[in-house]
Amino acid sequence: MTDTFDRAVARVRAGERIDRADATALWNEADDATLSELATLVRARFHPPDRATYLVMAIVNYTNVCVARCDYCAFYKFPGEAGTYLLSFEELVKRIDVVAGLGGQLVGFNGGFHPDLSVADYAELFRRLHAHYGERLAFYEMTIAEFMFVAKRSRVSYADAVAELRAAGVQWITGGGAEVLDDAFRLRHSPGKYKVEDFYDAQRAVLEAGLGSTGTMVIGFDESFEERLNHLDRLRSFQDERLASGGRALASFLCWTYKPYHTELGGQEVSTREYLRHLALCRIWLDNIVNLRTSVLTRNEDALLGLRYGANDFDLPTEDEVTQKAGATVSLEFEHILGTAEKLGFTPVKRGPWGAAGEFRAARE
Ligand code: SF4
């Protein structure tokens, strides 16, 4: 073992922040048991060691029309292609009611970059949805990626766009659509989507307006370890900035894995082992984000092992067409999944959506 590795381990044990050299040494030299132990140490600074929280949710995809052409996406259709759709309000309500019938507590919306939609269209939709569902359901109304596109399309600043959405009742614009936040990665795979600093400008505007947001990451494309670290490094700095501002900060961090089926990019899925090691590194690195979530949607029951690699929270998803099109499978055997968490030594606690500081609210039954 190198001196850098020993220093990294000592820093984690002492509750100190690690740097890039430490992270690289941990990734290259730590065995799985050591990474699990260190991530569990960091987790215990935020959460009771034997508790895992979860909620039942779905991602409802309201349109598959998209002009971004990301090569890792199996979901989108270009405008005018056969098979495009844009759900009406009534169709959306039907889809959401199915989720609610399955015990869903939260619905996240995710769609493509539809060239005909404006901020006003989104505001009108969410105003109607909030009026229809009241407090019965919580919503993750948009992702930062969609928000950026529609603000630009409508030729309004991020601040003005978020003000209009907020007035319509929007509460969350999550960090979805981040994949790997590294400009070289973006140039290789989705050059038309956004630049990294632009992403953070948009997310800053969202948080400054008092809306909630989250950090996300997807691994398993062709990204290098350095690119992964660039993503985590920028994210940690951004969260430092938000915490120092005294305003809202990111409530959680979720990492999932790329599904390569039916995409232009193709490739192979990363192994569960690599995912778990990466989760552990995220938990150790992101010492300023309270909640780390593991992805049942893309790893199924293996995701629960993530609770031993620093994660404290997971979703029980009922649908997400984007990842399902690329090979994800959804199980509604919730009791079985929760039983797996129990067998691993965790008590699953149903929660509500995150609050402003990353605390969870009481679950609504
Ligand atoms: S990942 Fe999102 S932005 Fe990229 S092509 Fe697919 S739907 Fe469009």
Between the alpha carbon of residue 265 and those of residues 52, 72, 190, 194, the distances in Å are 35, 5, 11, 19
Condensed to tens digits (0 to 9), the pLDDT of residues 118-129 reads 999 999 999 999
Residues of the chain with pLDDT under 70: 319-320, 322, 330, 354-365
Fold of 50-352: TIM Barrel (3.20.20)
Q: What is the per-residue pLDDT for 84?
A: 96
Q: How many CA atoms lie within 13 A of 226 on its CB side?
A: 3
φ/ψ of residue 260, rounded to 5? -90, 0
Pocket of ligand 1 (CB under 6 A): 66, 68-70, 73, 75-76, 112-113, 145, 190, 193
Q: Which of 110, 185, 190, 264 to mutate to test the pocket of ligand 1 (most atoms within 8 A of CB)?
A: 190
Ligand 1 centre distance from Cα of residue 19 (Å): 32
Ligand 1 atom at minimum distance from 193 CA: 3
Q: What is the per-residue pLDDT for 99?
A: 87
Instruction: Name beta bridge partners: 348.
Output: 52
d(CA 166, CA 175): 17
Q: What is the per-residue pLDDT for 73?
A: 95
Domain boundaries, the chain: 50-352
Q: Which of 113, 194, 199 to mutate to test the pocket of ligand 1 (most atoms within 8 A of CB)?
A: 113
Assign 3-state DSSP to the chain and report helix, strand, coil percentages, each to 5. Answer: 45, 15, 40
d(CA 6, CA 281): 16
d(CA 199, CA 195): 6
- Beta strand ranges found along the chain (DSSP E): 51-60, 106-109, 138-140, 142-143, 173-174, 215-219, 252-257, 291-294, 313-317, 347-354, 360-362
Q: What is the per-residue pLDDT for 118?
A: 98
Ligand 1 centre distance from Cα of residue 69 (Å): 6
